[in-house]
Amino acid sequence: NAGVTQTPKFQVLKTGQSMTLQCAQDMNHEYMSWYRQDPGMGLRLIHYSVGAGITDQGEVPNGYNVSRSTTEDFPLRLLSAAPSQTSVYFCASRTGVAGGASRRKDGTGELFFGEGSRLTVL
Amino acid sequence: ILNVEQSPQSLHVQEGDSTNFTCSFPSSNFYALHWYRWETAKSPEALFVMTLNGDEKKKGRISATLNTKEGYSYLYIKGSQPEDSATYLCASIYNQGGKLIFGQGTELSVKP
């Protein structure tokens, strides 16, 4: 049971470098999302996707890009890393969005999380 | 931006105490509310998904209620145990588009 797989688990970057956090899920979930966790702030939504080819911004999208070319993968790109992006990043997916391809009616499925990626930007 | 608030921010109780936390969310366009349990060094795991006003869910010693008209949900833990120590998160889905917005969490510490 792979579930949601994130790589890398740890990464240290210098300011201005770029990198991609990878996320893959094998549950055929339509909805995928990226969150960042900072002390005292819970989980803040960066970007999300309700299906292949569809992405949208969350609460804190600046400095991050995403794409969704397949159902399984949802990479998060940092184009020019800044110290403010030092955080723990979580990818999460869930079952069908109401009206989506899976034809679930309710769109309320619980999130399944990856193990997290700790990013430090110096 | 949907504003989901949780209180208290942290809670310290003794083993055997019962406790409860609050999650507040805008009631307009409400679609569903989730509760998650997040242990240190692990990933969050779902406890409950609630959709209907008056919903009550229970899993062992943990239960939750939902009031969609006034925009709040309570999570109750009966007879807290040290293994209940974790951060408890709620998240609201505010329309069928499905994005989940989390509150800041309540950190529970249960002392033996």
Q: Helix, strand, or coil here: A75?
A: coil
In chain A, which residues have their Cβ closer than 8 Å to the Cβ of B31?
107-108
Q: Residue A100 has what pLDDT?
A: 47
Instruction: Say which residue, B105 or B96, is predicted with more confidence.
Output: B105
The reply to whether residue A35 touches residue B102, judged by beta carbons under 8 angstroms, is: yes
Q: Residue B1 has what pLDDT?
A: 57
Distance in angstroms (rounded) separating the CA atoms of residues A111 and A113: 6
Q: Which residues of chain A have pLDDT under 50?
A: 99-105
Q: Residue A105 has what pLDDT?
A: 47
pLDDT tens for each residue of A80-91: 999 999 999 999
Distance in angstroms (rounded) separating the CA atoms of residues A31 and A96: 7
Res. B108: pLDDT tops 50: yes
Min CA distance, A2 vs chain B (Å)? 14
In chain B, which residues have their Cβ closer than 8 Å to the Cβ of A41?
104
pLDDT tens for each residue of B29-80: 788 899 999 998 899 999 999 988 999 999 999 999 999 999 999 999 999 9
Min CA distance, B112 vs chain A (Å)? 25
Q: Phi and psi of B71, rounded to 5°? A: 75, 55
Distance in angstroms (rounded) separating the CA atoms of residues A52 and A50: 7
Distance in angstroms (rounded) separating the CA atoms of residues B64 and A89: 28
